[in-house]
Amino acid sequence: MVRVVVAVPAEISASFYTLPWADRCGDWRGGEPSGVDGGDHRRREMVVIELEPEPEVEETTCPSLPPEYVAAVDPRTVEEDEEAFEDALTDEQLREKARSQANDAKAEGNKHFGAGEYEEALSQYKIALQIASELESAEDICSACHSNRAVCFLKLGKYDETIKECSRALELNPSYVKALLRRGEAHEKLEHYDEAIADMKKIIELDPSNAQAKKSLFRLEPLAAEKREKMKEEMLAKLKDLGNSVLGRFGMSVDNFKAVKDPNTGSYSLSFEK
């Protein structure tokens, strides 16, 4: 407790708690002592103000938690997990949206193809490829679009482009029968009979009951044999011309040499005739 004593005029001290004078011997508890002759005879009193000090507050601390428990309930960890989940969900939604856009472009290309608008179909398939190429696990869309572009080029008579698009589709899906059929057809148009036969044989290996591949193979094999024979004749003619240009300097020609085929081995031997 704090005790404060202040001397104030009586008219002011009326509102405070005051103590009366004790006696005339000079002992006092308020106002002026008796027997003092001063110029100012106004009655004075002593005012006592007692202030109660604020109680001291005892500091308390919460007991600390074990580190493993604090780590287990760390709110930052919970927030990071929630943010990661939201990000993953958003990425998945974006992928699904992009895949849907790629399929829509492919479907639009199919409409143009059905209407015979091959150039417009090619543009839509290209858009679908641009979207799908940025996605994971979109090989099915990409291979289908490459194969569809191939048949557009086939209709336009651009057989080299057809072969390129089919090959790209087969890189993504080696067992894509439609791409093999279209590439084989383009090879046949370019008289690449051996390559076309290889594609038909691959189809039959994948699908032994494929009638179209069997029919194509039956037609292609004689064409390939005929072409090989023709190429052999052309090669021999070129060699003959080259031989005559050399042997002519010596008064000879390749007609002086006769090629005889061995029926057992299939090899040839040369004999000189004048």
Residue 164 has pLDDT above 80, yes or no: yes
Predicted local confidence at residue 19, as pLDDT = 44
CA distances from 200 to 20, 94, 160 (A): 131, 40, 18
pLDDT band of residue 3 (cuts 50, 70, 90) is low
User: How is 81-144 classified by DSSP, letter by letter?
Assistant: HHHHHHHHHHHHHHHHHHHHHHHHHHHHHHHHHHTT-HHHHHHHHHHHHHHHTTSTT-HHHHHH
Residue 20 near residue 29 (C-beta atoms within 8 A): yes
Nearest to residue 46, comparing CAs of 16, 15, 12, 18? 18
| pLDDT tens-digit series, residues 101-114 | 999 999 999 999 99
Residue 109 near residue 148 (C-beta atoms within 8 A): yes
pLDDT band of residue 35 (cuts 50, 70, 90) is very low
* Burial class (CB within 10 angstroms; exposed 0-12, middle 13-18, buried 19+) of 94: exposed
pLDDT band of residue 262 (cuts 50, 70, 90) is confident
Predicted local confidence at residue 173, as pLDDT = 95
SS3 8: strand
Q: Which one has a higher pLDDT value, 62 or 216?
A: 216
Q: What is the mean pLDDT of the chain?
A: 75
Predicted local confidence at residue 149, as pLDDT = 97
Q: Which one has a higher pLDDT value, 131 or 23?
A: 131
| pLDDT tens-digit series, residues 72-99 | 445 555 566 555 554 555 777 878 888 8
Q: Which one has a higher pLDDT value, 168 or 15?
A: 168
- Rounded distance, CA 21 to CA 43, Å? 11
Query: Angle formed by the axes of helices 211-247 and 193-206, to 10°?
Result: 150
> Considering only 31-40, 127-136, 146-155, 198-207, which range has the smallest mean pLDDT?
31-40
Percent of the chain with pLDDT over 90: 43
Predicted local confidence at residue 269, as pLDDT = 72
Pairing outcome for strands 257-261 and 268-272 = antiparallel
Predicted local confidence at residue 256, as pLDDT = 61
User: Which 8-state DSSP code applies to residue 56?
Assistant: P
Q: What is the mean pLDDT of residues 231-243?
A: 71
Residue 184 near residue 199 (C-beta atoms within 8 A): yes
Q: Residue written as tokens 């997990």?
A: 81
Residue 126 near residue 149 (C-beta atoms within 8 A): yes
**Residues 251, 256, 262: CA angle, nearest 5 degrees:** 155
